[in-house]
Homo-oligomer: A and B are copies of this chain.
Amino acid sequence: MKYGLHGKLSALPGKGQDLANILLEAATMVANAPGCQLYVVSTDTELDDTVWVTEVWDSKENHDKSLNVPGVRELIGQAMPLLDGMPEKGHEFNVIGGHGLKG
- CB neighbours of A52 from chain B (8 A): 4, 93
> Which range contains the number of A residues in contact with the other chain?
35 or more
Main secondary structure of the interface of A (DSSP, over half): strand
Give bound CA distance, A95 to B12, whole Å: 20
A29 to chain B, nearest CB (A): 9
- CB neighbours of A102 from chain B (8 A): 100
- 6 additional A-B pairs beyond A27-B97, A39-B98, A43-B93, beta carbons within 8 Å, are A6-B6, A38-B101, A40-B56, A44-B93, A45-B92, A45-B93
Report A's interface with B, CB cutoff 8 A. Answer: 1, 4, 6, 20, 23-24, 27-28, 30-31, 36-45, 52-54, 56, 91-102
